[in-house]
Structure 1
Amino acid sequence: MTTSPISPPVFKGALVAVDPLRPTSSVIIFQYNPETMTRTLQARTTGGEAGSGPLRLSGPPEETIKLTIEIDATDRLEAGDPIAETLGIAPALAALELLLYPSSVAVIANEVLARVGVVEILPMAAPLTLLVWGTRRIIPVRVTDFSITEESFDPSLNPIRAKVDLGLRTVSYYDTGMLSAAGALSLAAHIAREVLGTVNTAEGAAAAIRSAAGVGGPS
């Protein structure tokens, strides 16, 4: 289908992993933006149990995000893309999977340390991962799980079409502190929500005033 020349450009969603050990696989742009995103917020509270006192918020809510992304090499195969012809969508799937893998460099370094007698080796830290969803939502997240359904294959059994169901958990300043990069981004998102909530309140108040005055009602 031909896109109208006056259609606005579509912002592509993405996952960005800030990992100096793997800079080449750190940006995963969604080929197609998901049509839906499920966000679940669970209050983080203290007190208020069994009527013992007021409910108090101890921090921002715990938020989980579920979305499904589609990856398809059909258009690239029709255009004769050599990577798609040789590997299908395997590189895109590998980039996603690496979000849950430690760096092989760190794995080898830890093995060397263990063999020379270092007793305590710290677990390898996951990269800072950002869900980029438009210019107003850049959210630090942890990829908690995902399932890949490979739906079609080329003659060499490389996958050429797949759906990936992603499970994410947002990382907040409650988890990392406000001075970390993730904490600063989380606090900025918190403040942006407050601004949007204020806009909604002002808009609702204006609508109520117009309704009371009989302005802008149905004819």
Structure 2
Amino acid sequence: MSSFPGAPRLLKGTIVLLDAVSFFPKGIITLQYNPETLRRTLQVRGAGSEGGDRLEALRLVAPPMETIQLEAEIDATDQLEFPAKNPVTVLSGIYPQLAALETLIYPKSSQIQKNNQLARRGILEILPIEADLSVFIWGINRVMPVRLSELSITEEAFDPKLNPIRAKVSLGMQVLSTNDLRFDHKGSSLFTVYQKQKELLANVNLGLTGMALS
């Protein structure tokens, strides 16, 4: 069935991977189906949040810690109906999609080997491995640098080779702010744009509220 010609184009939630050094795009993970719900939690970072100092009660020391949780479904049923057009799905099911999400929280094996070689040569100070920057895109107003903090996968169906062909994925992400990244980091720039967009929309709402009250 064709969609109505005037219907708006459906945007899908996406995670874009930017190289840790050059910040060039390295890959895109697009949610097959947009989840019905998305839960966001904002935790205040205030100077007086842990004590009773009245002078500090209203001081904000940094942007709030924002976390995002969502559940997504991945299903290969439609692709398997057309095996000639989807040879990768026939060969591996949805495991490539799951692997793309899982490797977001793995250090690169090549970097682990490199660090091991440095350790064998007696180099004492070995820096922790910096992951690629993940950017979660949820519509035009929300483009956020994130760190995947939680990943739970429930595989529900398999092909004869035991490749998963249907799964539910629970994602937990922490939005990385200027409090988490260097100010000159690309992620900090993305967060600043994200915050300014919030402020702009908040001002629009305040203007509409003022018009309603007048």
TM-score where L is the length of structure 2: 0.91
**Counterpart among 66, 70, 79 of residue 73 in structure 2:** 70
Q: Secondary structure at the match of 1:69?
A: strand
- Using the TM superposition, give the Cα deviation of residue 2 of structure 1 relative to its aligned residue in structure 2, in angstroms: 4.8
**Counterpart among 192, 199, 202 of residue 197 in structure 1:** 202
- Using the TM superposition, give the Cα deviation of residue 54 of structure 1 relative to its aligned residue in structure 2, in angstroms: 4.2
Work out whether residues 19 and 26 of structure 1, in 8 Å CA contact, stay in contact via their aligned partners in 2: no
Identity of aligned residues (%): 44
Aligned to 1:14: 14
**Counterpart among 89, 108, 111 of residue 113 in structure 2:** 108
**Counterpart among 86, 89, 93 of residue 88 in structure 1:** 93
**Counterpart among 128, 132, 146 of residue 141 in structure 1:** 146
RMSD (CA atoms): 1.9
1:161 & 1:25 partners in 2: Cα distance?
26
Work out whether residues 25 and 95 of structure 1, in 8 Å CA contact, stay in contact via their aligned partners in 2: no
Aligned to 1:4: 4
Work out whether residues 178 and 187 of structure 1, in 8 Å CA contact, stay in contact via their aligned partners in 2: no
Aligned to 2:61: 58
1:18 & 1:137 partners in 2: Cα distance?
17
- Using the TM superposition, give the Cα deviation of residue 175 of structure 1 relative to its aligned residue in structure 2, in angstroms: 1.5
Over 3 Å counting, the alpha-carbon distance change for 1:46 and 1:24 in structure 2 is closer
Q: Secondary structure at the match of 2:55?
A: coil
List per-residue Cα deviations over 1:90-126 (Å, max 9, x = no partner).
Answer: 0000000000011111111111111122122111012
Work out whether residues 69 and 163 of structure 1, in 8 Å CA contact, stay in contact via their aligned partners in 2: yes
- Using the TM superposition, give the Cα deviation of residue 137 of structure 1 relative to its aligned residue in structure 2, in angstroms: 1.1
Residues 18-33 of structure 1: matches in 2 within 5 Å? Answer: 18-19=18-19, 26-33=27-34
Counterpart code for 2:163: N
- Using the TM superposition, give the Cα deviation of residue 172 of structure 1 relative to its aligned residue in structure 2, in angstroms: 0.3
Residues 152-167 of structure 1: matches in 2 within 5 Å? Answer: 152-167=157-172
**Unaligned residue ranges in structure 1 (runs of 5+):** 210-219
Counterpart code for 1:5: P
1:6 & 1:86 partners in 2: Cα distance?
38
- Using the TM superposition, give the Cα deviation of residue 174 of structure 1 relative to its aligned residue in structure 2, in angstroms: 1.5
